[in-house]
A and B are shown apart, each in its own frame.
Chain A
């Protein structure tokens, strides 16, 4: 096949590209320039798309022996990922920008462009697997569960999965680093990137405050009594306990947790730990990574955070929303996060959580 390897400048995408070449594909490396004003250097494990990263990607492509180009996707990234991130926070939800990036950039803008240019698919260094079976090509968890990234890929449609190649799904991260070393790739020991790539300081709350302002608002209990003040509701997350700065203690001295964020009234609602518990979640804008989920109630697992646990559940599609009912209550679930349904290791589909109870 003719493939485009998306190369971030990190170790994973470098080894993925090398493996694709070794598998006999005709591969070209492409680094996506996602930041409008890239920084020169990475600071530790934070940030990405610096000039240093594009240099690392180019160097890896040269060592592997494939052509290398840089695609400017800064505008698409800003419109599709950064703006969405801000809009979600302003609406009181907690978005996952990596999901949006996979959905709108890597397996949309890039894959579309690749296909239009006569390429068959996109190779990435994600830790996930695909299998070809009676149901067509399906998406699965990586062998290395601690690095598994199927959660952030769960927004891919069948059409997108058909154009995706994940060469690292069968290997552990430790082995990938060793392989990079053997292949003479200088990025073998480069630190993993963490946090949100477009918030290079790692200070999410500060980054949001700079862009959304810090309008003071009330922190109230479940009865609506004001018990404190916040500086920007969106800097809080559901289940948060620390940093609330409350002056009125509870009767029994038990701690309070963020239960709800109400963007319209700019209010943060707090309450007891047990009030965080939910058993049912509903998600909008569902995407099926294989056969569509129907109204039939099925047993499976739901995952609500990138590296969270797979929670046993019963799920179905009510015609508009994807609904999952947990066997055991879950504490603190923010809307805006993705709910991803698994059938064993296979990704069934995902939706954006809009309601919990």
Chain B
């Protein structure tokens, strides 16, 4: 039997519209940078897509820089904004303690290779950043901070961060936000947030893998990571991936059923509390994305649970990074006050546009047994 998919935060099915767009564009000849008829036709399709995506996130089309992934967009933003700051003697990078590795690791790289000072803003037990800490930091060291990067919502817990408050505190310091998980799931306006840069990824919203975008304020110059043909404002070179971009746009312009997804999530949580009373939802008291639930099952080990769930035809995840295939204790949960043991007893279930109540029911039909077997295995 096919497995039930509850890992939509990892990637979600390609939407039919995106599938149609990519297959159709793949049959069109023309490098969008070419000046002839073929090139212009591809460019037209690509710029239509750029405008559509810009409209979805309330930015100018010229502010959209296409990249090959959200990770690449994060790298361009964090490193580029930091190098800009460094040119003016600013060496501090401020990030949250719960960032995705696509921000954590470039920040760490800047620290070890470029002489940056990385400061992590802690989060409370609910997973929300400590604004007082940030305010205090900005008050004391405003002149030294090159860039602040705080994710819009967390990929493991779905907890949404107060980005507007961050921007208000930041003053002239550029703020970047990784909005990969938030896009389409909750209202997201580049203009209203007032950030300098914002990251998007297509495959989290029903677009294809391998395409993302950095929204970067118009006329804002930052050093490039990839040098070459100068496409995308000389910030990101490389032949534009027109088929993926038009598919990204097709997916981005579809309606995401936030209310329906949230209802499924809430039904799942309700059933979970009934069936497995000692399980608890991380960040439950916070504002969260509609589709992500991060649950701790005390006395278990997440890798065992994943194996048992997979065997019971449920595809879930820990949501945290792997090192050599070994699940590390989630830095997100540790930052929220978990111990190594409880962090290692946690799973992420994430629902998407295609999820149904039958999915929730199926997961709940196997989960109690999986948890009790997992507990027995953990005692061994």
Do they bind each other?
Answer: yes
> Which residues of A line the B interface, CB within 8 A?
28, 31, 33, 38, 51, 54, 58, 67, 69-72, 74, 109, 112-113, 115-118
**Could you tell me if A31 and B377 are in contact, using CB atoms closer than 8 angstroms?**
no
Closest to A110 in B: B380
Task: Label chain A's interface by main secondary structure.
Answer: mixed
**Could you tell me if A33 and B373 are in contact, using CB atoms closer than 8 angstroms?**
no
Given contacts A28-B311, A69-B307, A71-B303, A113 and B325 within 8 Å (CB-CB) = no
A residues near B233, Cβ cutoff 8 Å:
none
B residues near A67, Cβ cutoff 8 Å:
307, 310-311
**Could you tell me if B376 and A116 are in contact, using CB atoms closer than 8 angstroms?**
yes
| Interface residues as binary, B323-334 with A (CB distance below 8 Å gives 1, 0 otherwise) | 011110000000
**Could you tell me if B311 and A54 are in contact, using CB atoms closer than 8 angstroms?**
no
A residues near B306, Cβ cutoff 8 Å:
69
Give the complex CA separation of A326 and B326 in angstroms. Answer: 48
| Interface residues as binary, B365-380 with A (CB distance below 8 Å gives 1, 0 otherwise) | 0000000011011011
| Interface residues as binary, B134-162 with A (CB distance below 8 Å gives 1, 0 otherwise) | 00000000000000000000000000000
Give the complex CA separation of A329 and B326 in angstroms. Answer: 49
Report A300 CB to chain B, min CB distance, Å.
35
Is B308 close to A, CB under 8 A?
Answer: yes
Report A67 CB to chain B, min CB distance, Å.
6
**Could you tell me if B326 and A117 are in contact, using CB atoms closer than 8 angstroms?**
no
B residues near A116, Cβ cutoff 8 Å:
373, 376-377, 379-380
What are the nearest 10 A-B pairs in CB distance? A70-B325, A116-B377, A112-B380, A72-B326, A116-B376, A33-B326, A51-B324, A117-B377, A38-B324, A116-B380
In-complex Cβ contact of A117 among B304, B324, B325, B327 (8 A): B304
> Which residues of B line the A interface, CB within 8 A?
303-304, 306-308, 310-311, 324-327, 373-374, 376-377, 379-380
Closest to A40 in B: B324
Report A79 CB to chain B, min CB distance, Å.
15
A residues near B325, Cβ cutoff 8 Å:
31, 33, 51, 54, 58, 70
B residues near A109, Cβ cutoff 8 Å:
380
> Which of B304, B326, B374 has the most CB atoms of chain A within a 10 A radius of its CB?
B326
**Could you tell me if B303 and A72 are in contact, using CB atoms closer than 8 angstroms?**
yes
**Could you tell me if A117 and B308 are in contact, using CB atoms closer than 8 angstroms?**
yes
A residues near B374, Cβ cutoff 8 Å:
117
Closest to B377 in A: A116
> Which of A72, A109, A112 has the most CB atoms of chain B within a 10 A radius of its CB?
A72
**Could you tell me if B304 and A113 are in contact, using CB atoms closer than 8 angstroms?**
yes
Report A66 CB to chain B, min CB distance, Å.
11
Report B59 CB to chain A, min CB distance, Å.
40
B residues near A33, Cβ cutoff 8 Å:
324-326
Give the complex CA separation of A70 and B325 in angstroms. Answer: 6
A residues near B373, Cβ cutoff 8 Å:
116-118
Give the complex CA separation of A36 and B377 in angstroms. Answer: 22
Closest to B322 in A: A70
Number of A-B residue pairs, CB cutoff 8 Å, is 47
B residues near A38, Cβ cutoff 8 Å:
324
**Could you tell me if A72 and B380 are in contact, using CB atoms closer than 8 angstroms?**
no
B residues near A117, Cβ cutoff 8 Å:
304, 307-308, 373-374, 376-377
Closest to B325 in A: A70
Give the complex CA separation of A109 and B301 in angstroms. Answer: 14
8 residue pairs bridging A and B, Cβ less than 8 Å apart: A28-B311, A54-B324, A67-B307, A70-B325, A72-B303, A116-B379, A117-B374, A118-B373
A residues near B310, Cβ cutoff 8 Å:
67, 69
A residues near B308, Cβ cutoff 8 Å:
117
In-complex Cβ contact of B324 among A28, A70, A112 (8 A): A70
A residues near B304, Cβ cutoff 8 Å:
113, 117
B residues near A69, Cβ cutoff 8 Å:
303, 306-307, 310
Give the complex CA separation of A117 and B378 in angstroms. Answer: 9
Report A143 CB to chain B, min CB distance, Å.
34
Report B366 CB to chain A, min CB distance, Å.
13
Give the complex CA separation of A344 and B324 in angstroms. Answer: 43
Closest to B307 in A: A69
Give the complex CA separation of A69 and B326 in angstroms. Answer: 9
Report A163 CB to chain B, min CB distance, Å.
13
Report A167 CB to chain B, min CB distance, Å.
22
Closest to A52 in B: B324
Closest to B369 in A: A118
Give the complex CA separation of A58 and B311 in angstroms. Answer: 17
Give the complex CA separation of A69 and B376 in angstroms. Answer: 19
Give the complex CA separation of A74 and B325 in angstroms. Answer: 13
Give the complex CA separation of A31 and B248 in angstroms. Answer: 37
Report A76 CB to chain B, min CB distance, Å.
11
> Which of B303, B311, B324, B380 has the most CB atoms of chain A within a 10 A radius of its CB?
B324
**Could you tell me if B380 and A113 are in contact, using CB atoms closer than 8 angstroms?**
yes
**Could you tell me if B377 and A72 are in contact, using CB atoms closer than 8 angstroms?**
no
Report B344 CB to chain A, min CB distance, Å.
9
Give the complex CA separation of A28 and B307 in angstroms. Answer: 9
Name 20 extra pairs, CB < 8 A, besides A58-B325, A71-B303: A28-B311, A51-B325, A54-B325, A67-B307, A67-B311, A69-B306, A69-B307, A70-B303, A72-B303, A74-B326, A112-B380, A113-B304, A116-B373, A116-B376, A117-B304, A117-B308, A117-B373, A117-B376, A117-B377, A118-B373
Closest to B373 in A: A117
Report A159 CB to chain B, min CB distance, Å.
14
B residues near A74, Cβ cutoff 8 Å:
326
A residues near B303, Cβ cutoff 8 Å:
69-72
**Could you tell me if B377 and A113 are in contact, using CB atoms closer than 8 angstroms?**
yes
Closest to A31 in B: B325
Closest to A72 in B: B326
A residues near B311, Cβ cutoff 8 Å:
28, 67
A residues near B379, Cβ cutoff 8 Å:
116
Report B117 CB to chain A, min CB distance, Å.
26
Report A125 CB to chain B, min CB distance, Å.
19
Give the complex CA separation of A116 and B306 in angstroms. Answer: 15
Report B324 CB to chain A, min CB distance, Å.
5
Report B326 CB to chain A, min CB distance, Å.
4
**Could you tell me if B377 and A70 are in contact, using CB atoms closer than 8 angstroms?**
no
Give the complex CA separation of A117 and B326 in angstroms. Answer: 19
